[in-house]
A and B are shown apart, each in its own frame.
Chain A
């Protein structure tokens, strides 16, 4: 049976978010400080803008490129290389000002739930998609590997940002290999030391290897120091000034 799996990517983006959203309703970890409706409206707007701009800037998707190259590299090696490269990219975003200013939009969220996984500046989307295109060009994976990774990336993105309390033993077990909500939350702490670690996307092994994995507790408040929480749910034309403000602060 021939299955066009990529046609389900769009619906999966929605269904996975709703599924994690229901999970968050049942087992919430923390109470939100700000209006959920306003945050979600903002995140939805950013996600729509991201899709339009990335589509405009990079007409060629990773799937399309993989299809045209006809490569055969399998899922596992492509996943490992891609996850490591995204770890490097994420580390770079916290290391270099020119990348941080765009990533700051994601970190400015003073609450965290699965919808935080939609909160990215379109420039960051173009950057990520460019990294992905470069890897597809270099490694020539099969279309199946690229599509499979897209599904995994979407699910993992929602999972690590989820506002859920996993059972302690499950959390501890998963942390050996995977990024979990418990590992990613300190990365969103308002405390700068917390943000300088736990850069993993799907796997936690890269942080373990490079000594950037930390499990100690940081300030429970999330966001960016010096950016008032109320400002972070302003309409896009106001929030859009944040990268320039961050640039001036560097």
Chain B
């Protein structure tokens, strides 16, 4: 019953392909590592010292 009630608000404006896991993949781990490293460098180089 709850599902039917909530279904009234349904939106299907986007189409999605085959589902993939939302859990990070190896490439995401690499990106995160590189991103944090770059941010750390920027902090040390340009960050405001309060």
Q: Enumerate chain A interface residues (CB-CB to B < 8 A).
A: 2-7, 9-11, 13-15, 17-18, 21-22, 25-26, 28, 30-31, 36-37, 40, 44, 47-48, 51, 54-55, 59, 61-64, 66-68, 71-78, 81, 115, 138-140, 142-145, 147, 150
B35 partner, pick from A18, A143, A144, beta carbons under 8 A: A18
Q: Mark B1-25, 1 if CB is under 8 A from A, else 0.
A: 0110011011111111111111111
CA gap between A31 and B38 in the complex, in Å = 20
**Secondary structure class of chain A's binding surface, majority of residues:** helix
CA gap between A193 and B38 in the complex, in Å = 37
Do A144 and B14 touch across chains, with their CB atoms under 8 A apart? Answer: yes
Instruction: Take A13-B28, A13-B32, A55-B21 as given contacts and tell me if A73 and B40 are in contact as well, using a CB distance cutoff of 8 Å.
Output: no
Q: Enumerate chain B interface residues (CB-CB to A < 8 A).
A: 2-3, 6-7, 9-25, 27-29, 31-33, 35-36, 38-40, 42-43, 46-48, 50
Question: Which residue in chain A gives the minimum CB-CB distance to B10?
Answer: A72
B40 partner, pick from A37, A51, A143, beta carbons under 8 A: A37
B32 partner, pick from A9, A17, A63, A142, beta carbons under 8 A: A17
Do A61 and B23 touch across chains, with their CB atoms under 8 A apart? Answer: yes
CA gap between A73 and B4 in the complex, in Å = 8
A4 partner, pick from B6, B16, B21, beta carbons under 8 A: B16
CA gap between A142 and B11 in the complex, in Å = 8
Residues on A with C-beta less than 8 A from B39 are 18, 21-22, 25
Residues on B with C-beta less than 8 A from A144 are 11-14, 16
Residues on A with C-beta less than 8 A from B10 are 72-74, 142
